[in-house]
């Protein structure tokens, strides 16, 4: 019985860790390669994907995402594709988007005797964001913020360690000097690897390049032209982190080429240095350099893979370590609107130590009930974070997402 109680408590703590990671930036679907979309700027205000959708992106979502959608029927989306289902007409230069993501799970109440006394439903607000974009000629401005009930510390705009906080994820101004180009400055997602809403992937958490709370201030230039796309950003630090010694400076960037509409190949590179790393509290210079690919070998099937070499120099004594992190994922749209996903990921940040690496197997089902409402259930066996030596466990996670 004691062993059963121990496992139950471990499961509850683990689920709490999942919740604490917070909600991810919505609607960054790299599996759109299965629909022959290699570029991101067609559908997103951010040229590297994720965040607010353009008018074209909303229309495409209406056609391709939901079960029973308009794909292949020759139907044009109506006003229901627009903000608030068309209830609030907007001028063409203005983009508004709301994202609400919640988690619900049964939480046990353990009595004084160590036995489970009751089960109660627990609801977590992981994301409640409003995204605003304005495009006036060649000038683009973007702002994204909202609230979370816990997690997403890197994006906090308030500082309540025990409860809800306001967050600001993106705030930038850009200029389009020519078609397919965007120069911008402000707080932005780091251009590195495969942009995805699955911010708990090792490749996103270890490199600190998720869209959940890893945005940094800086200047970036993005280019899309004839199968090529890429972005390079000079990193000036996260202004929502203090003191200044915790702020990381450096660069991040990627370049990809699509030799076909169903294949994309690319490279990524990142170097960042902080006088006091937020996790280690000592000077740290970290590097990540790697390869990525998106490939659709068959209709409605997408294969996504990313592998990065890691190199860290930590502390005044300049202790160096080299390792790697990677993921391979297959997304199968069994029928329109129902995605079944399997992933294998591994991580070993210091290949020369005695701890070894960790690996996780990950399965997910995502059902787009409507173009703006989806439900997702995940099951994992392994570790939630890249923590060498940690015990592999089973985890479960369920989410509901609504886009306005």
Tell me the DSSP string of 24-44.
Answer: PPS---GGGGGGT---STTTB
CA distances (Å), origin 209, targets 140, 205, 313: 23, 7, 19
Cis, bond preceding 243 (omega within 30 deg of 0): yes
Nearest residue to 251 (alpha-carbon basis) of 172, 169, 192, 210: 192
Exposed, middle or buried, 247 (CB in 10 Å: 0-12/13-18/19+)? buried
Confidence of residue 88 (pLDDT cuts 50, 70, 90): confident
Nearest residue to 136 (alpha-carbon basis) of 174, 90, 187: 174
Give the pTM. Answer: 0.86
Tell me the DSSP string of 52-118.
Answer: SBPHHHHHHHHHHSSTT-STTTTPPP-GGGSGGGGTS---TTEEEEEEEEEEEEEEEEE-TTSSEEE
Q: Which pair of structure tokens corresponds to residue 197?
A: 């809403």
- Alpha helices, H only, 185-315: 202-205
Q: Are 395 and 379 in contact (CB under 8 A)?
A: yes
CA distances (Å), origin 104, targets 36, 118, 284: 35, 16, 38
Confidence of residue 2 (pLDDT cuts 50, 70, 90): very low
Q: List pLDDT tens digits, range 135-151.
A: 999 999 999 999 888 77
Domains in the chain with CATH codes: 2-403 (2.40.160.10)
State the Cα–Cα distance between residues 151 and 156, nearest whole angstrom: 9
> What's the whole-number mean pLDDT along residues 6-33?
54
State the Cα–Cα distance between residues 61 and 261, nearest whole angstrom: 19
Q: List pLDDT tens digits, range 167-187.
A: 889 999 999 999 999 999 999
3-state SS of 90-108? CCCCEEEEEEEEEEEEEEE
Across the chain, what does the average pLDDT equal?
Answer: 85
* pLDDT of 8 higher than 60: no
Beta bridge partners, 257, equal: 228, 265
State the Cα–Cα distance between residues 345 and 205, nearest whole angstrom: 12
Q: List pLDDT tens digits, range 299-324.
A: 999 999 999 999 999 887 778 889 99
Nearest residue to 39 (alpha-carbon basis) of 309, 230, 198, 275: 230
Q: To 5 degrees, how large is the angle CA 397–CA 398–CA 400?
A: 145
Confidence of residue 72 (pLDDT cuts 50, 70, 90): very low
Q: Are 196 and 48 in contact (CB under 8 A)?
A: no
pLDDT in the model for residue 11: 43
* pLDDT of 101 higher than 50: yes
CA distances (Å), origin 10, targets 3, 6, 15, 23, 54: 11, 6, 9, 22, 43
Q: Which pair of structure tokens corresponds to residue 234?
A: 């000079």
State the Cα–Cα distance between residues 174 and 219, nearest whole angstrom: 9
Beta bridge partners, 134, equal: 94, 141
């Amino acid at each position: 019985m004691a062993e059963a109680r121990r496992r139950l408590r471990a499961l509850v703590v683990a689920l709490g860790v999942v919740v604490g990671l917070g909600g991810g930036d919505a609607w960054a679907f790299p599996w759109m390669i299965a629909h022959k979309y290699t570029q991101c700027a067609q559908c997103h205000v951010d040229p590297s994907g994720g965040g607010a959708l353009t008018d074209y992106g909303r229309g495409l979502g209406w056609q391709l995402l939901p079960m029973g959608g308009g794909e292949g029927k020759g139907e044009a989306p109506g006003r229901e594709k627009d903000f608030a289902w068309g209830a609030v007409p907007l001028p063409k230069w203005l983009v508004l988007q709301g994202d609400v993501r919640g988690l619900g799970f049964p939480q046990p109440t353990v009595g004084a005797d160590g036995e489970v006394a009751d089960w109660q439903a627990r609801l977590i607000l992981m994301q409640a964001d409003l995204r605003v974009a304005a495009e006036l000629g060649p000038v683009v401005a973007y702002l994204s913020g909202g609230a979370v009930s816990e997690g997403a510390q890197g994006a906090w705009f308030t500082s309540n360690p025990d409860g809800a906080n306001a967050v600001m994820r993106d705030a930038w101004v850009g200029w389009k000097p020519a078609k397919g180009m965007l120069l911008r400055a402000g707080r932005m997602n780091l251009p590195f690897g495969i942009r995805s809403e699955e911010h708990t992937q090792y490749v996103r958490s270890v490199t600190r390049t998720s869209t959940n709370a890893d945005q940094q201030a800086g200047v970036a230039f993005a280019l899309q032209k004839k199968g090529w796309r890429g972005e390079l950003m000079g990193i000036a630090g996260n202004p929502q982190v203090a003191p200044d010694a915790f702020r990381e400076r450096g660069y991040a960037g990627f370049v990809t080429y699509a030799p076909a509409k169903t294949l994309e190949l690319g490279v990524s590179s990142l170097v960042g240095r902080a006088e006091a790393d937020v996790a280690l509290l000592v000077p740290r210079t970290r590097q990540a350099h790697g390869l990525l690919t998106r490939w659709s070998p068959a209709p409605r099937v997408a294969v996504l893979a990313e592998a990065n070499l890691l190199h860290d120099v930590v502390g005044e004594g300049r202790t160096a370590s080299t390792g790697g992190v990677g993921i391979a994922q297959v997304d199968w749209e069994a029928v329109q609107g129902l995605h079944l996903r399997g992933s294998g990921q591994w991580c070993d940040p210091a290949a020369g130590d005695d701890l070894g690496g960790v690996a996780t197997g990950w399965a997910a089902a995502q059902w787009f009930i409507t173009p703006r409402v989806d439900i997702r259930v995940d099951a994992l066996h392994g570790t939630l974070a890249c923590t060498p030596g940690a015990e592999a466990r089973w985890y479960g996670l369920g989410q509901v997402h609504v886009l306005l």
